[in-house]
Structure 1
Amino acid sequence: MDLTYTEEEEDFRARLRTWLGGALHRLPPKPSPDDWPGRRAYDTTWQRMLYDAGYADLHWDASPTQRLIFLEETERAGAPYVGANFVGLLHAGPTIAAEGTGAQRERWLPPILRGDEIWCQGFSEPDAGSDLASLRTRAVRDGDSYIVTGSKIWTSHAEVADWCELLVRTDPTAPRHRGISWLALPMDAPGVTVRPLRTLAGSAEFAEMFLDEVRVPVTHRIGEENDGWRVTMVTLSFERGTAFVGEVVACRRTLGALAASARASGRWDDPVLRRRLGRLHAEFGALWRLIQWNVSESQRTGGVPGTGGSVFKLRYSHARQELYDTAADVLGADSLDLGHEWTLDRLSSLSYTIAAGTSQIQRNIIAERILGLPKPPKGGG
């Protein structure tokens, strides 16, 4: 794989950089982290600006290098990331593009790209997190609809979402990984109740969701009935393979800011700290190369990231935690200030070895699907 950029790609970078230089000045002030309606409006405004400028579909319909250039340049310019749009743009949208019918793609993809509709993720349940196949939310077929009953937890951005990518059990007699279906749930449907959850950092981007005999049209099912586990693996491959790309660029920027802060505070004379920063610099450089490889592989195999996404997710989760542990060391006593961005990022980093599949799950995937190791015996370690 050629990791260099062509003259045409560098021209794309230059045009994007020029557009960003003018567009960012037109954005309204960033809202408070607790103002979710305001955050939704801010994020969708930015998405509409991208759409009008022809950059909205770069997550899906661009070459691998164009996608990476777009993420590099928007992050370096300090542009907003996907924000409240992330489930639609990085999970549901690519899944519908890969697995949906023509009518489904026409219905849902343009509003996602324009920023007209926000999606949330309804996968995890109180008793089905890492062991997602044990989910219990039921969907019973009733004519042209499913009647859905159950509950979900850690539902990202549910309080401002229009749609939910929802996993349900449509055949309770089938083996655990079968009998599951992937539905597009309208969040304003009768019977849907959302209760926000407050995190350690004081934010409320997650919620509990309760479903009391909610009717969902059969036409909102993505893929065949009872084939939802396979469709879910497509969703999770996007989540683990490409959804964190912009964050790696942000971490590399943070690393540079950490080095500058260490120099300003006199901590740069500490050889142990310099070694940590140097190792993290190499770590995130390697992660960026891994992203390039994964994106190129996904393009070669039809646009769906493969198991290399688990390698990336595993290492990135731990590297992010190491980065913000180092930031706490540089900040010293200021690392206890919840008003400092790095402190909030450190608290957030604790979730990364759990979110989007725990590190234990990623190790199992790598062992079984990449290294070809046997599965552990049932009931054994």
Structure 2
Amino acid sequence: MPYTLNDKLKDLKPYDPISGDYSIRLDANESFLELPIELLEKAQYAMADIAFNRYPDPNATELCESFGAYYGIDPALVTAGNGSDEWLFIIASSFLMRGDKILTVEPDFSMYRFYGFLAEAESVVYQKKEDLTIDVDALIAAVNESGAKVVLFSNPCNPTSLGLRREEVRKLITSVSALVVLDEAYMDFWDQSLLGEVAQYDNLIILRTCSKAFGMAAVRLGFAAANPKLTQTLRAVKSPYNVNSVSQKIGALVMNEPELLQQALGEIILSRKALQASLKELESKYPDQLYVYDSCTNFVLVRMPRAKEVFEGLLERGIAVRFMGDTLRITAGSAEENAQLLKNLESLLSSSTNP
């Protein structure tokens, strides 16, 4: 008899990011800044110290110490992963039993519910308000009434570009018995992190990444921070050698350069502010065609009735942004990339008003 996939696998489709050769990529929320050549040269020399015939440090000790030093957190509370995606998969598959409920918010990062689905958990969705903000009291009620075992959301949010302030997140954590998994992938661009408080809570895991502000999307580094008990559990359920030696070495080198990272962070934030301001100008010029959300991330979300048409028009011009139904998510790029995006976007908007 032929082999048959089980019900949860048979209709799955792979994650489908934009592929193709586009001159301007503003679709994946990566940093537009490459690592400085002097840092790359240091990384090349560091490769000579790696024993390629040996497994990597299972605890990624040097890397976690560098992370701890940069963020001012005890490295004993930090566990490294192969990107934040690995942590999402591990947490869903380990902290959820079949039939348990995982609560996510909508809109948010689409993979959260997917990993819950693979864990055979029941999905509960809290729908954000029309303005894409979260009513924390309503969210708390949804968690408690549903009996969810895990609450998972991003703050600041991808794709809305909006964030919950620190005191609101604290209220959520202390008002539910569920495990709160707080994905702070974009918190480098804001100032409302709970990373420094993570040891105070028995039901909190914070995820961070090197892919957005640090310009290291290629090496796939993510971190989970939690109190000692949860940290011990996370280290027990991850695979023993989950972060390769090359990524560990490069990650530690980069995070040991705080001045460089802060300078890059400042450039990205300035780019996002400039992009947002220019998009707001287009909004005032074409009020029926776009609405620009405020942002505390490295991207801007724009609601457009012709989002798909504009998205395809930009692709034809060699510019990739993220199409999300009736919105476009636009990553802040270099000054030149932003200028090209805005020029072509206005061309597309004006063509519809002046046929």
TM range (shorter): under 0.3
In terms of fraction of residues, the more helix-rich structure is: 1
After TM superposition, the score normalised by the length of structure 2 is: 0.27
